[in-house]
Structure 1
Amino acid sequence: MEARALGVDDLELVCRHREAMFRESGRSDDVLRTMTAQFRPWLAPRLRDGSYFGFVLMDGGEAVAGIGLMAIDWPPHPSHPTQDKRGYVLNVYVEQAYRKQGLGRRLMQLAEDEFAERKLQFAILHATEMGRPLYVALGWHATTEMAKAVGA
């Protein structure tokens, strides 16, 4: 299994993986079509300028898993008191036929290595129920974050 960096040509792959991830966590196709129609033009310039980066795992010429990463603005915080950025992990997806082979673990290690290379000392992610056991096993833990849809 070969790892490579995400590139501008991976726009549709990231969109497909993101939709599949949310579909498997119970989101409706109607919502996902709307989301992807908005996500695609959001993602394209970020892939071009490198503000959305990450990795793809390849089996031969086929992309079988991927992870998105960002360095997001965040005020200095007790978890990172000298930095104004956090690493952010998103769109982690492994094709069904390739699950339970350690690919998610490998993607997360690539993410941590990349954040360390960029000198980011703290990272966050939002876990699906399926992904939560992997993240916990890798030392991630729940925080006090809460969420609410407003004005919708």
Structure 2
Amino acid sequence: MDIRTLRPSDLELVCRHREEMFRDAGRRDDVLAPMTAHFREWLKPRLADGSYFGFMMSDHGVDAAGIGLMLIEWPPHPEHPTQDKRGYVLNVFVEPAYRKRGLARELMALADAEFARRGVSYAVLHATEKGRPLYQGLGWNGTTEMAKPI
């Protein structure tokens, strides 16, 4: 499996992975289509300036799995008392034909290493029900976060 960093030309691939990830989690197409259109516009400048970064795995030129990463500003917190940022993991997706091969686990290890390289000692993610066992097995824990639509 070849591994490379994300690049601006991955815009459509990342958008497709994100949409498929949410579709796989049970979200409806009437919600996903507008989300993807707005996400594409949000993502384009961030891929270009490197504020959205990550990795893509491919098998003989076939894109198999990807992960997105960001650094988010966050005030110092008991979990990271001397840092004003957190790592954020998003858009972890493995193509169906490549699942159950450890690719997501490998992507998460790459994320840990990249965050460490950038000096980040704490990271967060939002897990789908299908993804939760993987993340828990890698040492991720639930937090006290709550949410509500406004």
TM-score by length of 1: 0.98
The residue number in structure 2 matching 1:6 is 6
Instruction: Give how far 1:13 is off.
Output: 0.4
Counterpart-to-counterpart distance in 1, 2:9 and 2:63: 12
Instruction: Give how far 1:61 is off.
Output: 0.6
SS of 2:39 mapped into structure 1: helix
Counterpart-to-counterpart distance in 1, 2:129 and 2:2: 27
The residue number in structure 1 matching 2:19 is 19
Instruction: Give how far 1:62 is off.
Output: 1.1
Instruction: Give how far 1:124 is off.
Output: 0.1
5 Å matches for 1:55-94? 55-94=55-94
Instruction: Give how far 1:127 is off.
Output: 0.2
Counterpart-to-counterpart distance in 2, 1:119 and 1:3: 22
The residue number in structure 2 matching 1:112 is 112
Instruction: Give how far 1:141 is off.
Output: 0.4
AA in 1 matched with 2:5: A
Identity %: 69
Counterpart-to-counterpart distance in 2, 1:107 and 1:121: 17
The residue number in structure 2 matching 1:103 is 103
TM-score by length of 2: 0.99
AA in 2 matched with 1:92: V
Counterpart-to-counterpart distance in 1, 2:2 and 2:106: 11
- How many positions carry a matched residue from both structures? 150
AA in 2 matched with 1:10: D
SS of 2:56 mapped into structure 1: strand
Gaps of 5+ in 1: none
The residue number in structure 2 matching 1:46 is 46
The residue number in structure 2 matching 1:139 is 139
RMSD over aligned CA atoms reads 0.4
The residue number in structure 1 matching 2:149 is 149
Instruction: Give how far 1:59 is off.
Output: 0.4
Displaced runs of 4+ in structure 1, greater than 3 A?
Answer: none
Counterpart-to-counterpart distance in 1, 2:96 and 2:62: 14
The residue number in structure 2 matching 1:128 is 128
